[in-house]
Structure 1
Amino acid sequence: MTTYGQWTTNLAESVWQDATSHRTALIEHSSGRSYHYVELKQAVERFAAALRPRLRGPDEVLALVCDNTTEFVVAYHGTLLAGGVVLPLEPLGTPDEWQPVLERCRVVHVVAPAKVWRQLSALPAAASVRSVVLLDDVSSDDLTVGWHEWLNGPAAAAAPAAGDERPALLATSSGSLGLPKQIVLTHRNLVSNLDQIGAVHRIAADDVVLATTPLRHIYGMQMAMNPTLRAGGTLVTVRTPFNIDDLVEVIETQKITVAYLVPSILAELARRGGTGGRDTSSLRLVYSGGAPLPANVAQSCARLLGVPVVQGYGMTEAGCTFAPPDGIPPVPTSIGKALPDTEIRLVDPATGLDGETGEIWVRGPQVSPGFLGEDGTVHGLADGERWLHTGDIARRERDGHVTIIGRIKQLIKYKGHQIAPAELESVLLSHPDVADAVVTGAPDEVAGEIPVAYVVLSGPVALSEVTDFVACRVAPYKKIRSITAVDRIPRSAVGKALVHQVNDVGAGGTR
């Protein structure tokens, strides 16, 4: 294998080392704010300078609750530069979702809007928090400080904190089974993956890159944000929710050259059948990620936009692992080829033998060392030979391109968001009138998949009340979209729900 870069550096140092130009680094399309590289890098350094003296030990965790704004970029990179670890949290989450994460990750610093901090501060886990930066500058006590006051100090010269195998990010992933986990990603994981991506997929200084997916997710972070800033290009962010009219408007207005999208947006464009007269001629490439992209949607959008529409493959636990090399005609449904320095196997789940079709196993420098356990220790994800079993089934074509054909894992992909069925099942079972429950994903033309629930009721309750109960306790994208009451949930001898049999049992109502 070939090593493509210096993987021992701090990720922030790697991204910002050449950021000395007065070119535009970031444009918030929704607010109209824009920043040049010099001022954005200085803000990162000021954030680091303010945080550094507050770090009492190595690898202290900062919870970052922020949308796709300048503040996310500055706090993310400033934390890494100072030696902290970033824990991005879902801004639309609930206290019930945040509490176990804050406790497990031992959070001691927080960056969030004042409204979110008021919710967080009431949680038991908040007792260990020592400093809070309020994004809207509403500071009311000694613990909190406003964003501008935090950045008001000098950008003191200091060497970047060590990188290499130190943790940089605690990224939330549902994994293949079970409740959401915080995946530990090191500086080496992230820096090496940027080099791997850059070897086949180029972002240049004259590119204007559209990031529509959350920067807190690996796709938005490692495909849009970090490569663009590292290359000296212009990153354009948008406010969600985001529809097809917003897409073509921002492409025309900002002269977008590369757009990172999700299949649901592209499916909407394909159904629309046109750009509404908007000029999208600045585009040179559209990238899809977060969920499989149907071949007919990719082909329709490529015809409408006049540019290649491609998709890659990645996961929180291993960053980007497959990508179609730039300049090669797209292969419909293909996720491209394995990135440099990435070993893959296709293993038959039944026999354990390698072949041209099977579960994707990955090994490489981008693979996470593990997830954070309840005791604060890191639990490995890979097997004894460092192979990560992804749970996705793929086929390798004669030309080496790989196509996803199914998956073992039960993860629901709703408009690019990852939803763990076990999490929704846990909430359902906390309802006093739900005796048993199972959640699965159902295909949906717009969303990709929607969460569907089957419940065994123990009391006279309306199904709408059950779904409302869940909706109040989870982020909006996790809401159950369809629910059916059944007489029983078929289960195997070890208690695993037999989802494929659930429709065969008697139904007592549906919605």
Structure 2
Amino acid sequence: MTEPGPPPPAVVRGPLPATAERLDGLVRDAARRHPDRVAVRGVSGAVTFGELDRLVSRCARALTRLAGGPGAVIGLTAALDPACAVAYYGIARGGCTVALVNPLLGDDELTRALRVAGPRVLVAPERVAGRLRDLTGRLDGPPAVVTLHQGLSGLMAREEDAAEQVAPPAERACVQFTSGTTGEPKAIVLSHRNLCVNAAQTAQAHGLDTTSVTLNHLPNYHPMHLNSAMCAGAEQVLCTSPDSADAIALANRHRATHYYSLPVRLARLAADPGLGGLALDTVRAVYSGGSALPVAAAEKLSGHFGIPVVQGYGLAETSPLVHCDLPQRSRPGSVGVVVAQTECRVVDVTTRAELRAGEVGEVLVRGPQLMTGYLDGPGPVDADGWFATGDVGRVDEEGYLFLVDRLKDVFKHGNWLVSPTEIERVLLTHPQVADAVVVDGPDEFAGSVAHAYVVVRGDASCASVRDHVNERVAPFQRLRTVTAVAEIPRTATGKIRRREIRDGLLGRPDPRNPSILSTREETAP
């Protein structure tokens, strides 16, 4: 039996300030403190905290009436638009539950999510409303589909600006689905307390206050960024352009202090020949999350802009943030230390014994932001409140967490535990490899072996890529095959769809992407 795990982090988060007890209370409190300050700025215009609070109350009455009263589930497509903030908090204020809908899912996955969540109303941008109407025809008792601008504005226009009437909150504040990259998406239930506490935890970890201006360069409006800025009274600037140069220009125009983006976008920016002509004038740190950002990309951007580029770690089940790197004491490759009121431990994947600092095992977390459970059950939480994340990592002597891989992605080669992500990092050191993924395939003698799929630049051969890796890794990590592909399938947040790739390797290609494995291949001797 090993000794108990790592000592407490060297940097201890301070106590959290008091926060709202219900989700829409974040808006109400911000409006009381600074009603005339800009809350959210988007392509459609800007709205102050005071205006937002009034719109939220109107929206609450309109959507609750349409849904048949408090307690209903109302679906919302989280578009990067100020109107989305109105709908999100309006659903909560009306005593209903918001179910976040990802329009990037395939038809079957999206239909399944709607069937599980059971919304009576769906609020969606005009560009996806038609598709949702088609899919809801597959459901029993199809929900009404309301467009985010014209439809919602029309409903709200019928409501009078009467004294605010706040319905008792629904037991469930939010239903959110996991990404489904390693299995079927799970429906997660989050309470008002989960989301409000994590808003305060995130605001503290990111150093947000009333002087902050956040630049959100994301494909969708993530509740973490919305709630944390609302909690802090910080202005939010929303950038819908996928071009990082546009996002940087917008950050400079509005004197942003915090820049939020995705690893896939930041990695492309680091490799962009035009990076030398870009500068961030007022941003104090760049924050990356959703998946791992390559260390080399983070270091290049940090060196170029002269500011920290840091990562955080969270899960849908934890509302989501549990760790965040420290801009003033950043550790390359780390996702940082725990946020306030949160604990972390690493356990052996087989014996479940707690491990010492530096040893690799499954990451467990505990804190008030932990979900109430899944719609179909409580989830992997033990009797002491520890949540098994399914991620493999290690914690150093000062409490910094380094993630290694997903537990479902690591595999055994003989008696050795192999991390695909570690091999991918070596693949990306090849000068002609633009992107890469490693999955396991069956082997008669070793159990499993590593196979790689790569996006190559120029005329690099698969054999040269394989040799580059196999000369630099341990014998149990060596690649059996390397296959060149046009692209690596990813989610909107940049997470690799390993399940689709692994199914293709085992002879079951994904019917939605049948060409993903139609490539040239060279097999190792």
TM range (shorter): 0.7 to 0.9
Residues 126 and 203 of structure 1: is their aligned pair in 2 closer, same or farther, counting only changes over 3 Å? same
Structure 2 residue aligned with 1:364? 367
State the superposition RMSD in angstroms.
3.6
User: Counterparts in 2 of 1:92-111, with a 5 A limit?
Assistant: 92-111=104-123
User: Counterparts in 2 of 1:426-505, with a 5 A limit?
Assistant: 449=496, 452=501, 453-454=503-504, 469-471=511-513, 482-483=516-517
Choose 49-58 or 245-254, whichever is displaced more.
49-58
Structure 2 residue aligned with 1:207? 212
Give SS of 1:104's match: helix
Give me the whole-angstrom Cα distance separating, in 1, the residues matched to 2:289 and 2:518: 31
Residues 289 and 313, structure 1, Cα contact 8 Å, conserved in 2: yes
Residues 441 and 449, structure 1, Cα contact 8 Å, conserved in 2: no
Structure 2 residue aligned with 1:386? 385
Alpha-carbon offset, residue 406 of structure 1: 2.4
Gaps of 5+ in 1: 138-144, 414-420, 422-439, 459-465, 472-479, 487-501, 507-511
Structure 2 residue aligned with 1:11? 23
Residues 456 and 365 of structure 1: is their aligned pair in 2 closer, same or farther, counting only changes over 3 Å? closer
Structure 2 residue aligned with 1:334? 334
Give me the whole-angstrom Cα distance separating, in 2, the residues matched to 1:7 and 1:24: 20
Paired letter, 1:482: I
Give me the whole-angstrom Cα distance separating, in 2, the residues matched to 1:398 and 1:64: 42
Residues 213 and 256, structure 2, Cα contact 8 Å, conserved in 1: yes
Residues 84 and 148, structure 2, Cα contact 8 Å, conserved in 1: no
Paired letter, 1:401: Y
Give me the whole-angstrom Cα distance separating, in 2, the residues matched to 1:176 and 1:351: 26
Give SS of 2:121's match: strand
Residues 52 and 86, structure 2, Cα contact 8 Å, conserved in 1: yes
Alpha-carbon offset, residue 345 of structure 1: 1.3
Structure 1 residue aligned with 2:314? 314
Give SS of 2:266's match: helix
Choose 200-209 or 444-453, whichever is displaced more.
444-453
Structure 1 residue aligned with 2:295? 295
Name which of 156, 159, 162 aligns with 1:153.
Answer: 159
Structure 1 residue aligned with 2:230? 229
Structure 2 residue aligned with 1:409? 408
Structure 2 residue aligned with 1:135? 148
Alpha-carbon offset, residue 215 of structure 1: 4.5
Give me the whole-angstrom Cα distance separating, in 2, the residues matched to 1:448 and 1:379: 25
Name which of 87, 99, 108 aligns with 1:87.
Answer: 99
Paired letter, 1:289: G
Give me the whole-angstrom Cα distance separating, in 2, the residues matched to 1:129 and 1:70: 27
Residues 83 and 146 of structure 1: is their aligned pair in 2 closer, same or farther, counting only changes over 3 Å? closer
Name which of 120, 131, 140 aligns with 2:132.
Answer: 120
Give SS of 2:116's match: helix
Structure 1 residue aligned with 2:472? none
Give me the whole-angstrom Cα distance separating, in 2, the residues matched to 1:47 and 1:71: 10
Give me the whole-angstrom Cα distance separating, in 1, the residues matched to 2:519 and 2:383: 43
Give me the whole-angstrom Cα distance separating, in 2, the residues matched to 1:49 and 1:156: 10
Structure 1 residue aligned with 2:6? none
Give SS of 1:156's match: coil
Alpha-carbon offset, residue 87 of structure 1: 1.2
Give me the whole-angstrom Cα distance separating, in 2, the residues matched to 1:174 and 1:130: 23
Structure 2 residue aligned with 1:186? 191
Q: Deviations over 1:170-198 (max 9, x none)?
A: 11104684311221111111111122223
Give me the whole-angstrom Cα distance separating, in 2, the residues matched to 1:384 and 1:321: 20
Alpha-carbon offset, residue 505 of structure 1: 12
Alpha-carbon offset, residue 92 of structure 1: 3.5
Residues 354 and 379 of structure 1: is their aligned pair in 2 closer, same or farther, counting only changes over 3 Å? closer
Give SS of 1:313's match: strand
Alpha-carbon offset, residue 168 of structure 1: 1.1
Give SS of 2:200's match: helix
Paired letter, 1:359: E
Gaps of 5+ in 2: 1-12, 411-419, 422-437, 439-450, 457-487, 489-493
Give me the whole-angstrom Cα distance separating, in 2, the residues matched to 1:382 and 1:441: 34
Residues 198 and 135 of structure 1: is their aligned pair in 2 closer, same or farther, counting only changes over 3 Å? closer
Alpha-carbon offset, residue 117 of structure 1: 3.9
Residues 27 and 53, structure 2, Cα contact 8 Å, conserved in 1: no
Structure 1 residue aligned with 2:200? 195
Structure 2 residue aligned with 1:477? none
Give me the whole-angstrom Cα distance separating, in 1, the residues matched to 2:54 and 2:346: 46
Residues 67 and 121, structure 2, Cα contact 8 Å, conserved in 1: no
Give me the whole-angstrom Cα distance separating, in 2, the residues matched to 1:32 and 1:121: 24
Residues 340 and 96 of structure 1: is their aligned pair in 2 closer, same or farther, counting only changes over 3 Å? same
Give me the whole-angstrom Cα distance separating, in 1, the residues matched to 2:87 and 2:46: 17
Give me the whole-angstrom Cα distance separating, in 2, the residues matched to 1:448 and 1:115: 24
Give SS of 1:346's match: strand
Structure 1 residue aligned with 2:481? none
Give me the whole-angstrom Cα distance separating, in 1, the residues matched to 2:402 and 2:454: 19
Give SS of 1:191's match: helix
- When the two structures are superposed, what TM-score results if normalisation uses the length of structure 1? 0.75
Q: Deviations over 1:458-493 (max 9, x none)?
A: 9xxxxxxx76x405xxxxxxxx7721599xxxxxxx
Give SS of 1:247's match: helix
Residues 244 and 162 of structure 1: is their aligned pair in 2 closer, same or farther, counting only changes over 3 Å? same
* Structure 1 residue 49 corresponds to structure 2 residue 61: yes
Residues 449 and 132 of structure 1: is their aligned pair in 2 closer, same or farther, counting only changes over 3 Å? closer
Give SS of 2:299's match: helix
Paired letter, 2:223: M
Q: Deviations over 1:340-371 (max 9, x none)?
A: 21122100103221112221111111111222
Paired letter, 1:345: R
Residues 82 and 177 of structure 1: is their aligned pair in 2 closer, same or farther, counting only changes over 3 Å? same
Choose 50-59 or 256-265, whichever is displaced more.
50-59
Alpha-carbon offset, residue 261 of structure 1: 1.2
Residues 61 and 109, structure 1, Cα contact 8 Å, conserved in 2: yes
Alpha-carbon offset, residue 405 of structure 1: 2.1
* Structure 1 residue 26 corresponds to structure 2 residue 40: yes
Choose 355-364 or 114-123, whichever is displaced more.
114-123
Residues 216 and 238, structure 2, Cα contact 8 Å, conserved in 1: yes
Residues 231 and 98 of structure 1: is their aligned pair in 2 closer, same or farther, counting only changes over 3 Å? same
Give me the whole-angstrom Cα distance separating, in 1, the residues matched to 2:276 and 2:519: 43
Residues 444 and 450, structure 1, Cα contact 8 Å, conserved in 2: no
Residues 49 and 155, structure 1, Cα contact 8 Å, conserved in 2: no
Give SS of 1:317's match: helix
* Structure 1 residue 77 corresponds to structure 2 residue 77: no
Give me the whole-angstrom Cα distance separating, in 2, the residues matched to 1:454 and 1:130: 36
Residues 291 and 443 of structure 1: is their aligned pair in 2 closer, same or farther, counting only changes over 3 Å? farther
Paired letter, 1:62: I
Paired letter, 1:292: A
Alpha-carbon offset, residue 115 of structure 1: 5.9
Alpha-carbon offset, residue 27 of structure 1: 1.5
Give SS of 1:171's match: strand
Give me the whole-angstrom Cα distance separating, in 2, the residues matched to 1:153 and 1:47: 8
